[in-house]
């Protein structure tokens, strides 16, 4: 004897798919804040550009009060130039990936 298998069909409603949330094309100001914080840490580690370090610290403090990131973008651009020069000098700790990440964040403004 062979068993006949029956397919059970249920009348379940099809699961509704929600559209995937789209990532914004421009990063949030929080990204530039993180980028400037890491750039400041790297500048301190390399012990270069003390004036730029002071400017970034000031802009981070200003941003924490008024939430206007324009100064952070300007300091990010200045830090980017310094890091590119350090990369050309083959300074230890300055990587192309670090520069690319900072550049992507700064240029998205």
Q: For 1-55, how does the pLDDT look when each residue is reduced to its tens digit (9 = 90+)?
A: 566 666 666 665 555 655 555 554 544 667 999 999 999 999 999 999 999 999 9
The pLDDT of residue 70 is above 90: yes
* Burial annotation 23-41 (CB, 10 A radius, 16+ → b, else e): eeeebebebbbebbeebbe
Residues with Cβ within 8 Å of residue 83, at least 6 apart in sequence: 39, 42, 94, 98, 99, 102
State the Cα–Cα distance between residues 93 and 12, nearest whole angstrom: 58
pLDDT at position 108 is 87
State the Cα–Cα distance between residues 30 and 72, nearest whole angstrom: 10
pLDDT at position 8 is 61
């Amino acid at each position: 004897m062979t068993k006949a298998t029956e397919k059970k069909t249920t009348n379940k409603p099809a699961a509704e798919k929600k559209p995937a949330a789209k990532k914004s094309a421009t990063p949030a100001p929080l990204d530039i804040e993180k980028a400037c914080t890491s750039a400041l840490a790297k500048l301190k580690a390399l012990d270069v550009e003390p004036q730029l370090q002071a400017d970034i610290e000031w802009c981070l403090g200003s941003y924490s009060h008024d939430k206007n990131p324009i100064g952070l973008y300007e300091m990010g651009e200045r830090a980017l130039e310094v890091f590119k020069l350090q990369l050309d000098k083959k300074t230890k700790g300055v990587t192309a990936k670090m520069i690319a990440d900072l550049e992507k964040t700064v240029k998205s403004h």
